[in-house]
Amino acid sequence: MTPEIECPNCRRLQAKIEELEARIQELEAQLRRGCRQAAPFSKDEPKPEPKPPGRRPGQGEFTRRQLPAQEEIQRTVEVPLETCPDCGGWLEDRAWHEQFQVDLPQVEPEVTRFCTQSGYCPRCRKRVRSRHPEQVSEATGAAGVSLGPRAKALAADLKHRLGVPYRKISELFATAFGLEVTAGGLCQADARLAQQAEPLYQQLVEAIRRCAAVHVDETGWRIGVLGAWLWVFTGRKITVYAIDERRSHEVVVEVLGREFAGVLVSDCFTAYDAQALSGWLKQKCLAHLLHELAQLERDKSRAAVRLPRALLSVLREALQLKAQQSQLSPGQFQRRFQGLEARLDALISSRRQFSDPDNARIAKRLRKQRAHLFTFLTLDEVEATNNRAERALRPAVIVRKTGGCNRNRRGAKTHAILASLLVTAKQQAADPLEALIRVLTRQGKLSLERSPPTVNAA
């Protein structure tokens, strides 16, 4: 039991000690949240009423698995029942019931022998050789046994889109398909595949430059022992990855070009505010701002909580206005839009004096980004958040956790090229494996017909 303190100075010191102890507990909680534990994304305090898992009522379409067509059934097994399995008595009023089971077939490697011919051409003065379209290599002798296009494409998809390490792919091939291949062999095959696919990667870069809106983000990466950054540039139908040692606007300019005419959707990182990008149309991610404002609303009290609470109201109403735009007349939409702008300008005005430093900081940031906060309300193609780029970074984060990034620049280039092709194929509702098989067999290139048309957002 703490004795009662009579001295006023002692009481002040005791109150200060209690305040500092509470602050220490808060900082320790933040430190625990930042540590990578078994559950790194868990919070200190669970929500009192967490949302139940699963599909929300009224969201999405609920469907059952369709019954297979008659021609899809390879085998029918009848299991008659004449007597009771418990007592052995004869059964009456028997009925048949159908149940369908879909399973994977037993897979065995398919070995193909290509017998090609060669001959000397006097006119060309060189020796030429025939080649079958399904061949991925012309090597003979000691290197005359190689993986086929489907195996190579599957390995590349598992590694660069799904984040499975090479050693686990090797184990999977041996266990599921009876195909013996080393992790080093898979790595070399990917490097050769990326070299063949590099022209198509350049086509993707040219296509992303013509998009009406491009979402961009970056995450930490490593090339050997050196720090680097993995950048993602994504639109509705195209995604381009780039790995670079720089975390600056030069990477954005090199990928999108100086004459980029679309809208750049990003967070508030300073590289996206460089002078070289000053003439570009931009949209800053409102999700980041809402998260920071919500944190301020939880931390502040009394008068200091008024600004984050009011800013939260304005940004949330802006998102609601976007959702309701199709239901409003142009005049109604414009009046509400102008009202939101006026409220925001009054809240972050430079003439206001903020006693709280965090409020002053957030107001200064919003004044800096004022021209890029409501672009999504003026252009239909633009989204209010940068969630599209965040989602595109998730496969890269999985690869970083499981595979440890890249050992050299060649590996970094390989990952950027193959990940771009695979993710783009998935966005375009194409089969990623077939896309790589066409590259390996030189039968064609990934179609870009579904890429967004050229739109001058200005």
* Segment 231-250 mean pLDDT: 94
Judge if 405 and 305 occupy the same domain.
no
Residues 231 and 333 in one domain: no
Report yes or no on 414 lying in a domain. yes
pLDDT of residue 40: 54
Task: Read off the tokens for 179.
Answer: 């195909």
Between 442 and 90, whose confidence is greater? 90
Higher pLDDT residue, 34 or 422? Answer: 422
Task: Clarify whether residues 271 and 336 are in a common domain.
Answer: no
Please give the order of strands across the beta sheet that includes 213-223.
Answer: 239-244, 226-234, 213-223, 263-266, 281-284
133 in any annotated domain: no
Alpha-carbon span 414 to 420, nearest angstrom: 10
Would the pLDDT of 12 be above 90?
A: no
Contacts of 351 (CB under 8 A, 6+ apart): none
Residue type, 437: I
Residue 82 lies in a domain: no
What is d(CA 326, CA 340) in angstroms, rounded to the nearest whole number? 18
pLDDT classification of 424: cutoffs 50, 70, 90: very high
Q: Decide: 374 and 452 in contact? Cβ < 8 Å.
A: no
Min mean pLDDT across 133-147, 309-323, 354-368 is at 133-147
The pLDDT tens digits for 160-200 are 998 899 999 999 999 998 899 999 999 999 999 999 999 99
pLDDT value for 35: 59
| pLDDT tens per residue, range 336-352 | 999 999 999 999 998 98
Angstrom distance (rounded) from CA 87 to CA 38: 52
Confirm whether 231 is domain-assigned.
yes
From 377, 404, 424, the end of a domain falls on: 377
Q: State the residue range of the domain holding 299.
A: 286-377
Q: Would you state the pLDDT for residue 41?
A: 55
Residue 401 covered by a domain: yes
Asked whether residue 83 is domain-assigned, the answer is no
What confidence score (pLDDT) does residue 441 get?
83
- Rounded mean pLDDT of 423-440? 90
* 407 plus 417 within the same structural domain: yes
The CA-CA-CA angle for residues 235, 370, 287, to 5°, reads: 50
pLDDT over 70, % of the chain: 91
d(CA 286, CA 266): 10
Residue 155 binned pLDDT confidence (cut-offs 50, 70, 90): very high
Mean pLDDT across the stretch 232-258?
Answer: 94
Residues 344 and 424 in one domain: no
What pLDDT score does 39 carry?
Answer: 53
> If you average pLDDT over every residue of the chain, what do you get?
86
Which of 346, 377, 408 finishes a domain? 377
Query: Do residues 404 and 266 share a domain?
Result: yes
Confidence of residue 107 (pLDDT cuts 50, 70, 90): confident
**Contact between 169 and 186 (Cβ < 8 Å):** yes
Q: Which amino acid is at 66?
A: Q
Q: How many domains does the chain have?
A: 2
Q: Are residues 346 and 410 in the same domain?
A: no
Read out DSSP for 83-142?
A: B-TTT-PBP-S----------PPPP-PPP------EEEETTTTEEEE---TT-S----GG
- The per-residue pLDDT for 45 is 65
Task: Looking at the structure, tell me whether residues 269 and 170 fall in a common domain.
Answer: yes
Task: Quote the pLDDT of residue 443.
Answer: 66
**49 located within any domain:** no
Q: At what angle do helices 306-323 and 286-299 cross, to 10 degrees?
A: 150
Query: Do 242 and 162 lie in a common domain?
Result: yes
H or E segment to which residue 318 belongs: helix 306-323
Same-domain status, 270 and 295: no
Q: Which of 165, 152, 232 is nearest to 420 (CA)?
A: 232
52 lies in some domain = no
273 shares its domain with 338: no
* pLDDT > 90? residue 368: yes
* Nearest of 258, 242, 173 to residue 420 by alpha carbon: 242
Same-domain status, 335 and 417? no
pLDDT at residue number 450: 39
Go through 234-246 and write b for each residue having 16 or more CB atoms within 10 A of its CB, e for each that does not. bbbbbbbbbbbee
Exposed/middle/buried for residue 451 (C-beta within 10 Å: 0-12, 13-18, 19+): buried
* Residue of 226, 196, 230, 237 whose CA lies nearest to 216: 230
Domain C-terminal end among 325, 351, 377: 377
d(CA 18, CA 306) in angstroms, rounded, equals 27
pLDDT at 374 over 80: yes
- pTM value is 0.79
Domain CATH for 397: 3.30.420
